[in-house]
Amino acid sequence: MNFLEKLKLRWQITSNWQLFMICLVFAITGSASAWASKPILAALNITKDLPGAIYWPLRVLIIFPVYQILLVIIGTLLGQFKFFWAFEKKMLRRFGLNLE
């Protein structure tokens, strides 16, 4: 069984098209969350002038929730709401939050 078949089995999807759309959502969301978090970082005066040991953890803390929100929004726009909503609920449960 190749990697793509294992991924489809793990994510409980059957179509290569859905696999493509899910990968596309992940790709778009990564870039979009970095771009969308820039105004938040600027408003909080978090710039690269800060030492790297401070700047990067703060940036990750800002990008993470932006990423989670955009993942569901972009997933919905590309017809994958069900997959990404389940993905988000699983992620939030790992952080001790339960939406059910």
**Mean pLDDT computed over every residue of the chain:** 91
- On whether the CB atoms of residues 80 and 21 are closer than 8 A, the answer is yes
Q: Is residue 99 part of a domain?
A: no
CA distances from 96 to 64, 90, 91, 99 (A): 16, 10, 9, 10
- Confidence tier at 80 by pLDDT (50, 70, 90): very high
Domain that holds residue 81: 22-94
Structure tokens at 29: 């969301």
What is the distance between the alpha carbons of residues 58 and 62, in angstroms, rounded to a whole number? 6
Q: Is residue 90 part of a domain?
A: yes
Q: How many domains does the chain have?
A: 1
Mean pLDDT of 41-66: 91
Q: Is residue 9 part of a domain?
A: no
- Confidence tier at 100 by pLDDT (50, 70, 90): low
Q: Is residue 10 part of a domain?
A: no
Q: Is residue 11 part of a domain?
A: no
Taking the alpha carbons at both ends of the chain, their separation in whole angstroms is 35
